[in-house]
Structure 1
């Protein structure tokens, strides 16, 4: 172990053990160098990164999982068949009669990442050219950015520490939104057609920006959870009422059938019963209305 590596290790150990709370002193063991000098070394250094966010008080808060839902992509990157020929070799007619080894070399399975990305962009370009014609420059740019965004999303979710790719991804998402905004102003039908073909959801920017503090966010989350519980109870009650409604309607039909039989037996007119019921309902409504008016007059006095 060279002296430079020892200095770097000592700096890392000092940085890891500086914090708001005092840390326990670990065991020490001496490293004897070739020159005869000794260097104190911690036997169990804590160099593992944790997915937590430290605060001033010393407590840790778990980070939320990384998500790029704000991009508007409804689908992920599509998979390719490894046996398919690359787009740049499709015009080669001699490849049809070539041996299998030559076809395998020209296939997607033997291509590099740059070649696969170029193949995806060319496939997207040909598809949009068939749909919108040769003069669809803005649609071509949106399609190219869509291919790059979906590739970068898969990369950033796999490699969380690659911050440079994440910043490039955010820039490309904003750039695509700008081109989509321009296309939306020019031709709305074409804009909707492109969104349907690329499986993208356009999320316009808010008209007004208001800063939301952490306390307000917690309040909003609690309210949403309470409304969700309330809605679940309402849905359960609706299902219960629907089940009871079927039994009630069946019982109602049986009672009406019995009333009809008795009316036919005693030769009674059912219309008279209906009119009497209507009169009783109107009388009860008038009684309730008069009662409410009397209580209102008493409160006013």
Structure 2
């Protein structure tokens, strides 16, 4: 990519004294077009075209059109995912935890590559954290069920798994801290007691209003309402 730089020097001023653009372009560095393939061969056919019989006997120029060299980033990612899944799968119908972890690894690397280009992409960052969390969950399950397959998968995918830090040592509470806990517990009990009394009073008030309204309308009372009237009569 070529960019013009603005140099404020005596040689770059016109007759009116304004700075003008430097006529000599300055290069910011060339981007290697083969970098997006990584370890893939650009001559490999894209996913879906590698099994076509027509392309097997076709001319090299025709194969080149359907190869990774003319593929976009999404098609290259699909090829990477398909290639990695084929290496992990035991058979075409295998969709076990290792296969899911491999698929998530491909997506994680693609999103991480996007974040390296645009570091302020918050949506991509949120997506990356979600994918890492899902993969960590699957890795934890695989570690508990098949530890040998777990270690072999880490080597095949070139990833690491870090265990959570051990719990910190138990802190011995001081007398002052325990006294604060007692005060907080008593205050909480008082708040709960006051809340219970308030709710009971509101329920009784609503029950009285419902019973009075039903009597005025001539409606039958429920068993709960009848038992409430009996309890009020006994307490009164």
Task: Provide TM-score, normalisation by structure 1.
Answer: 0.41
Structural RMSD (CA): 2.2
1:78 and 1:166 map into 2 onto residues whose CA distance is 23
1:128 and 1:160 map into 2 onto residues whose CA distance is 31
Q: CA deviation at 1:78?
A: 4.0
1:115 and 1:197 map into 2 onto residues whose CA distance is 23
1:204 paired with 2:163, answer yes
Tell me the alpha carbon deviations over residues 53-78 of structure 1, each in whole angstroms, 9 at most, x when there is no partner.
Answer: xxxxxxxxxxxxxxxxxxxxxxxx94
2:89 and 2:123 map into 1 onto residues whose CA distance is 32
Task: Give runs of aligned pairs for residues 110-149 of structure 1, distance below 5 A.
Answer: 110-130=70-90, 134-149=93-108
2:83 and 2:136 map into 1 onto residues whose CA distance is 22
SS at match of 1:182: helix
1:194 and 1:78 map into 2 onto residues whose CA distance is 21
Q: CA deviation at 1:87?
A: 2.7
2:105 and 2:99 map into 1 onto residues whose CA distance is 10
Tell me the alpha carbon deviations over residues 90-119 of structure 1, each in whole angstroms, 9 at most, x when there is no partner.
Answer: 111221221233211110011122221111
Counterpart of 2:114 (choices 149, 155, 170) is 155
Structure with larger RCO (C-alpha < 8 A, sep 6+)? 1
1:188 paired with 2:117, answer no
1:155 and 1:143 map into 2 onto residues whose CA distance is 19
SS at match of 1:117: helix
1:87 paired with 2:13, answer no
Question: Structure 1 residues 114-123 or 173-182, which shifts more?
Answer: 114-123
2:128 and 2:134 map into 1 onto residues whose CA distance is 10
1:166 paired with 2:125, answer yes
SS at match of 1:179: helix
Q: CA deviation at 1:170?
A: 1.0
2:57 and 2:92 map into 1 onto residues whose CA distance is 33
1:107 is matched with 67
Structure 1: 5+ residue runs without aligned partners? Answer: 1-76, 211-301
SS at match of 1:206: coil
Structure 2: 5+ residue runs without aligned partners? Answer: 1-36, 170-236
SS at match of 2:48: helix
2:52 and 2:142 map into 1 onto residues whose CA distance is 36
Is the CA contact (8 Å cut-off) linking 1:86 and 1:106 kept in structure 2?
yes
Is the CA contact (8 Å cut-off) linking 1:87 and 1:123 kept in structure 2?
no
Tell me the alpha carbon deviations over residues 25-78 of structure 1, each in whole angstroms, 9 at most, x when there is no partner.
Answer: xxxxxxxxxxxxxxxxxxxxxxxxxxxxxxxxxxxxxxxxxxxxxxxxxxxx94
2:163 and 2:123 map into 1 onto residues whose CA distance is 26
Residue correspondences, number:
133
